[in-house]
Structures are given as C-alpha cells and as structure tokens.
Amino acid sequence: MRRILVAVLAFLPLGVCVAQDRYPSQPVQVISVFGAGGGTDIIARAYATEMARLLGQPFVVVNRDGAAGSIGFAALAAARPDGYTISFAPNTPLVNSPHVIKSLSYGFDSIVPVCGVFDNVFSMAVAPSSPYKTLKDLFDDARAKPGKIAYGNAGLGSLPHLSMAALTRAAGVSMNPIAFRGDTGVLPQLMSGELPVGVVAVSSILGRDLRVLAVFSERRQRAYPDSPSVTELGFPKMPQALNGVFVPRGVPKAVLETLERTCEQVARTPSFIAVVEKLNQVVEYQDSAEFARLLKADYEFRGRLLKDIRFGEQ
C-alpha cells in the first residue's frame, strides 16, 4: 500500500499537493462583536476588505453582538481552530468579561491574540440640549442626586462601563449605568436627549450633533480639541482600549504566521489607514508577542480594578 501511495503521489500535479497546505483556501469568517455601523465594526470591515485583497479569499464579517462582546468571543472560542473563524474586536471580551461573567464559556487562555491594530478612544457625550456644559457640571448634579443620573454604555463589563465606573468612583459620585448592545444602541437615545449621558467611542460619534464633556485618554483628541482628557482633569489612568485580531487556541502555527504577517501589511496600507483616521483613530500595530504582553498586563490591571467596583452602584 505504501508503494502504491508513493506512486500515486508522484503522478499528482505539484499544485494539488501545495493547495492542500495553502491558507486560506476558502472564505474566512470575521466575527465583529458589536453591531453593524459602529466605529469598530466599520474598521473591521475595512480590515476584512484588505485581508481578502492580499490573501485572495473572501473575509466575511459576521456580527455576533451582545454581552459587551462576550457572545462573539464565545462563538470564536467554540469555533474549529483552523483559521477560518477569526475575530476583529476590542480587548474587552478577553480582559474584562472573564472577571465579571461567572457563566462565561471561555477564559483568558481560550483565545490567542494575532495582532494589535488600533487603540479606540472613548468619550463622555451629551445631547446639545443638555444642561451639562462640563464634566464638573455633571458630577455636581450627580452628587446632588446619588444614583439617579443614568449613563449609557456598550454593555455590562464593557470598557465604557468600566471606565465610567472607575471615574465616578475616583470622583466620589454615584451614577446609574444602563447597558446597551454596543454604541449603536446608545446613540439614538443619547441624541434624542432621553439618555442624559453616553460613554461611546470617538469613532462612533463623528458627524453627530453631540457635546463631548471629556475623553478617556491621556491627551485631547484632534476631533474634539476643546474637550479635556480625564487625565488632564486629574483623574487616574483608565484601562486601555486595544483592538485587534484574535483566533481560538489551537490554530496551527503556519496559519497564525500568515495572519500576523498579513495583518502587518494591512496596518501599513494607505486605504486602511485612511478609514481609521477618518474615524479619528490612529493605527497602532503590535505583533502577536507585544499584543499578548499588553493584553496580559491589562487583564491583570482590570482584575484588580474590578475588585473595587460594584457594578450596580456606579
């Protein structure tokens, strides 16, 4: 049988054997963990377009939103580890959700980071008709009405939720968190004035008539130069909003190397950079080793922070 097999293989065209090892040789599913139309989703679609161009196979974006991104990551962790299901997502489902969702079907070690692509900056925004002109205005009112003023966020345990909870704790005020399925759920009620405050990505509010009270970063953002950063206002450093590409544990090394190498190419592509910059974000590429190091440090930082935050009271 061995001699027969060797003989058969010898007569096969070389291209047939190579095709068996080539990745990708079929469409790749890209899980976007928030709803369609948000800033991260738009960038995910730009990433998928460039990956398809560079690798010659469709990269199809599928939205699996809910539970601050953990529904999408649960689907990713359960997928066959062959490289045909990946996710373009923020780090929240990996570094936050394992700390706050007891029934989570995956853990920090269930997912492998491939590359970091950009750092998503969040803002604290209100409608133009809001009486709050500054962050001080908001917090003064919150002190007068403990737990009464609501703020919208992308879901329980999401980075907007955690950042605002940490900020209100540092300021000594209590506010009422309202969880939505991503920024696209927050924005309609925020813009109508039904929701007093929203913590949403800078990339999600561009072109919308909203007043930004502050940005969750160490420096002001060029899109909102008149809006101070929380660091500038004297508050502690907030958790990082790292965004990149992830796969389930067990994906072959050769596939990981292809994804990482192509991810770096995408991060240097003018058309992709233009999409990111149009959303007032900046491409920040990290290879798999550096991305993994940053995620591990952020996971441990959030674990310590979450011990001091009782979600129902912030």
Closest CA to 120 of 13, 34, 249: 34
Kindly state whether residues 165 and 250 are assigned to the same domain: no
> Would residue 13 count as lying in a domain?
no
pLDDT digits (tens, 9 = 90+) for 280-307: 888 999 999 999 999 999 999 888 878 7
Q: Cα dihedral angle (141, 171, 66, 30), rounded to 10 degrees? A: 130
Domain of residue 235: give its range.
122-239
Kindly state whether residues 65 and 199 are assigned to the same domain: no
> Would residue 21 count as lying in a domain?
no
Residue 213 has pLDDT above 70, yes or no: yes
Contact 151, 198 (CB under 8 A): yes
Picking from 239, 256, 289, the residue at the C-terminal end of a domain is: 239
Q: CA 236 to CA 111: how far, in whole Å?
A: 29
Q: CA 124 to CA 33: how far, in whole Å?
A: 22
pLDDT digits (tens, 9 = 90+) for 42-70: 999 999 999 999 999 999 999 999 888 99
* CATH number where 144 lies: 3.40.190.10
Average pLDDT over residues 196-203: 93
> Would residue 106 count as lying in a domain?
yes
Beta bridge partners of 177: 151
> Would residue 209 count as lying in a domain?
yes
Number of domains in the chain: 2
> Residue 133 burial (CB < 10 Å; 0-12/13-18/19+)?
exposed
Q: For the chain, what is the mean pLDDT?
A: 89
Kindly state whether residues 246 and 223 are assigned to the same domain: no
> Would residue 130 count as lying in a domain?
yes
Residue 5 has pLDDT above 70, yes or no: no
Kindly state whether residues 126 and 52 are assigned to the same domain: no
> Would residue 7 count as lying in a domain?
no
Kindly state whether residues 245 and 235 are assigned to the same domain: no
Kindly state whether residues 114 and 256 are assigned to the same domain: yes
Kindly state whether residues 139 and 79 are assigned to the same domain: no
Average pLDDT over residues 122-137: 96
Contact 280, 202 (CB under 8 A): yes
> Would residue 9 count as lying in a domain?
no
Kindly state whether residues 212 and 153 are assigned to the same domain: yes
Nearest 5°: phi and psi at 33? Answer: -85, 0
* CATH number where 54 lies: 3.40.190.150
Kindly state whether residues 112 and 161 are assigned to the same domain: no
Picking from 213, 239, 265, the residue at the C-terminal end of a domain is: 239
111-125, 136-150, 156-170: least confidently modelled range: 156-170
Picking from 196, 217, 239, the residue at the C-terminal end of a domain is: 239
Contact 50, 269 (CB under 8 A): yes
What's the confidence (pLDDT) of residue 312?
42
Kindly state whether residues 291 and 228 are assigned to the same domain: no
Kindly state whether residues 284 and 187 are assigned to the same domain: no
Contact 34, 65 (CB under 8 A): yes
Residue 9 has pLDDT above 90, yes or no: no
Kindly state whether residues 105 and 247 are assigned to the same domain: yes
Average pLDDT over residues 13-41: 78
Residue 100 has pLDDT above 60, yes or no: yes
Beta bridge partners of 215: 123, 229
In the structure, what pLDDT confidence band is assigned to residue 8 with cuts at 50, 70 and 90?
Answer: very low
Residue 204, C-beta contacts closer than 8 angstroms, at least 6 positions apart: 38, 39, 183, 184, 187
> Would residue 264 count as lying in a domain?
yes
